[in-house]
Chains A and B, each alone.
Chain A
Amino acid sequence: MGEAEPTPDLQRVARLVILAGVVAAGAYLYFLLSPSHRGTPWVWALAAVAEGLTIFQALTVWWTVIAHGGHRDPADVVAWRERLLAGIDVPPVDVFVTVAGEPLEIVSRTVLAARDMRLPHETWVLDDGRSDELRAFCERTGVGYLRRPDRRHAKAGNVNAALARTSGEFVAIFDADHVPTSDFLVEALPHLVDRRVAFAQSPQWYGNRDHLVPIGASESQRIFYELICPGKNHFNAVFCVGTNVVFRRAALAEVGGLYAESLSEDIWTSLLLHRHGWRSVFVPKVLARGLAPDTLRGYLKQQFRWARGGFELLFTGRLLRGGGLRLDQRLQYLFTSTHYLLAFATLIFQLLPAAFLLLGDAPVRAGFTTWLAFYLPFSLLLLVVTYLQAGGFKIAAIVASLGAAPVHVQAFLSVVLRRSSTWNVTNARGSVQSIELVLPQFALLVVNLLAIGVGVAALTPENRTGTFLAIFWAALQALVLARVVAEAFLDAARQRRELVRPPRQRGRRSEAEFARGA
């Protein structure tokens, strides 16, 4: 990715399609909201909410994406890069690798890669996992090792503690499982040549793609980093994603380090920096290779954290009031924080066909062809835009994002109800899990299968078209949900295999397990 910038031609085509998409979305909304097409009121209202969210989401993405014209590095960035490579005026740079109990086999690769990056820098391991083995490893390899007395405020606290004990003008941050390329500093650092730039963020890229979860996680990320982030860059609204980023220490100092009051310290820190007038830059090049969550549990946990971060921002970020932000930035933050509302649309779409099949309540009352005439252009254009822009998409990404909807809703509720900020499907670390993880998805699957059964049983010549259409939708939903539920069991089987066999070198496991040689 990254290197494959969309060509101007493709962008022009995409813009045309987006224009058509806006028209189609308007026509579809008109059809849906017109009173003469209203079906059973409550089903209609749900459908209107879901389609409204979908259309809003599409418009926000299109608005962001259309700003992305493919930019080259500005001249001053290139000039500073040349000087850095020549060894002139290289500023002091600290490189942090944050560790929180990841196994040494994973951490060591990241640490060595960070140490061996081009341009002079000091590398520090920030160990919240308190591993003596890791300390020994750092001593052997000549890397700084920092351990703090407590673990308050998770990663933000870890980084802030390290900021207090180091002094480099710039600070690069990597998660323990994101291995930087040797060019990271050469590519990213020059973007901070402008003294108003607080940080330069490069994409997260996942190298492990051997089954549904990591593939889905990587693919849905890809759209974000290839399309959304370049667009956000145009609006000076790129936010930090916590790793593969290089900060200007002076900027962090101005806002008191990473924002410690949330587990989504990255986006909150970005918001604070933008409020203080700092700029941010997106570097559209893969400069680190990470590990996608490779268990469903890890994936859902990550999704919960991200969704929670978004909703926190939405409800407590004072995005519309609060000073310091330009209108474009407010909009972009608003778009980001509302992104996971799409989960409600997903849930509704997973239930609408069932509502029709089970109860006979349809959202709209119109002939099949009339409905199709309004619905098809909109949904096709939605797909075409994404396809053109992203250069295709994988089923795994769709399954993964649809399957995470219940978790996104849980995150929403946790923010609204002020519940704990971690996802608590309680399960012992390392133990094999299955149905517990996917109960909501399982329930949705059962409802859809049930609906298909009842729909077939109650088939009459009068409701045939509607029933067939609903069965088709319900079957699609059931396939996706079944795949997610199946993944929970595949996951468990995979873990059982790994417990028996010597560990394959991938995935995060707890320190305790690693120490036991599990």
Chain B
Amino acid sequence: MTDLDERAAGTAASEPPARDGGPTVDPGSPFVGEQAHERRQHLRRAAGGRRHAVLAWLAALAIVAAAVYGGIRLTGYRLAGQTQLELGSAMLTASPVSVPSPGDGQVVHVYVHPGLHVRAGGKLVRVRFFGTNSSGGPSSSLATITAPGAGIVSSVAAPKGDAILRGDALVQMYNPQGDTFQTTIDTATLGRLRKGMHATLTSPALPHPLAAVVDHVVQPAAVSDQQPGSTTTTATAPGTMMLVLRPVHPAALGRLIPGLKVNVIVHTATGPKHAPSLARLTS
């Protein structure tokens, strides 16, 4: 604005007082000097006014520009927001595997402890089985119980020396690769969800958001059957269902502990377009 300033100063300085035949002033009047002074001030104000007018137009342009930019950004944000469905909190839920005893007997040795990673076929427990031999007399045989699949030992149900009956749980395991996220969901919301939609799971405990897909819904009661240990997820109100989300990369779950709470946002614009909505699947 410097050129304008200079012009303003120039105008004010070069303008002789009352050049354009302004009010003729009585030379004897005590206000002569004052009127000339006022006139100069008036001209200075006029120049200042022009500068202000330019500034005002620039400000108006800035407002419009900001509005256009902000409008585009906001529209994008709103449209993105509409394809995002906040489902609130979901819980990492393990699928427990109970390794039962195939017969009556006694635990002779335990190879594992809680927290141990076990490969499929890995040794879990050595058991002495009691039975009757072909002649009807008592007999015993030793056997090693192995893991039905890879997983982590969560508890040893029958420690060394315990007597066991057929069907008793020997070891509780779970498979982190089979973990799912489960959240209660309003049945009214089911209509907006289709199997295969992508979801983003976030939590302060996670360094990166996890990717998941919408898998299926179950009755809350079914969940409580599967999970005798868990009481929190079973407390569902009527009119709600359990939504099960499957992680896209099960390996990424790593050593996450079941019970972890995550925040779920489903991207409703993703997934197979022609899949039926979950509401139709459950009804």
Instruction: Give the interface of A toward B (CB within 8 A).
Output: 130, 132, 358-360, 426-429, 431, 433-436, 439, 442-443, 446-447, 449-450, 453-454, 457-458, 460, 512, 515-516
State whether A429 and B42 are in contact (beta carbons under 8 Å apart), knowing that A360-B81, A442-B60, A450-B70 are contacts in the complex. Answer: yes
Instruction: Give the interface of B toward A (CB within 8 A).
Output: 20, 22-23, 26, 29, 31, 38-39, 42, 45-50, 52-53, 55-57, 59-60, 63-64, 67, 70-71, 74-75, 78-79, 81-82
Q: Are B22 and A132 in contact (CB under 8 A)?
A: no
Question: Contact check: which of A130, A439, A512 meets B42 at CB < 8 Å?
Answer: A512
Q: Which residues of A contact B26 (CB under 8 A)?
A: 132
State whether A454 and B71 are in contact (beta carbons under 8 Å apart), knowing that A130-B31, A132-B26 are contacts in the complex. Answer: yes
Q: Which residues of B contact A449 (CB under 8 A)?
A: 67
Question: Contact check: which of A439, A446, A457, A512 meets B67 at CB < 8 Å?
Answer: A446
For the A-B complex, the count of residue pairs with Cβ-Cβ distances under 8 Å equals: 79
Q: Which residues of A contact B67 (CB under 8 A)?
A: 446-447, 449-450
Return B85 CB to nearest CB of chain A, in Å. Answer: 11
State the CA gap A72–B255 with chains docked (Å). 91
Q: Which residues of B contact A453 (CB under 8 A)?
A: 71, 75
Q: Are B63 and A454 in contact (CB under 8 A)?
A: no
Return A434 CB to nearest CB of chain B, in Å. Answer: 8
Q: Are A460 and B63 in contact (CB under 8 A)?
A: no
Return B280 CB to nearest CB of chain A, in Å. Answer: 18
State whether A458 and B45 are in contact (beta carbons under 8 Å apart), knowing that A130-B31, A446-B63, A515-B23 are contacts in the complex. Answer: no
Residue of A with least CB distance to B26: A132
Leading 7 A-B pairs by shortest Cβ distance: A436-B56, A428-B49, A428-B46, A458-B78, A515-B23, A457-B75, A427-B49
State the CA gap A478–B145 with chains docked (Å). 79
Return B229 CB to nearest CB of chain A, in Å. Answer: 37
State whether A358 and B74 are in contact (beta carbons under 8 Å apart), knowing that A428-B42, A458-B79, A458-B82 are contacts in the complex. Answer: yes
Residue of A with least CB distance to B29: A132
Q: Which residues of B contact A447 (CB under 8 A)?
A: 67
State the CA gap A458–B26 with chains docked (Å). 71
Residue of B with least CB distance to A131: B23
Q: Are B48 and A428 in contact (CB under 8 A)?
A: yes
State the CA gap A50–B259 with chains docked (Å). 46
State whether A512 and B22 are in contact (beta carbons under 8 Å apart), knowing that A433-B53, A435-B56, A447-B67 are contacts in the complex. Answer: yes
Q: Which residues of B contact A458 (CB under 8 A)?
A: 75, 78-79, 82
Q: Which residues of A contact B38 (CB under 8 A)?
A: 512
Q: Are A516 and B49 in contact (CB under 8 A)?
A: no
State whether A454 and B22 are in contact (beta carbons under 8 Å apart), knowing that A433-B53, A436-B52 are contacts in the complex. Answer: no
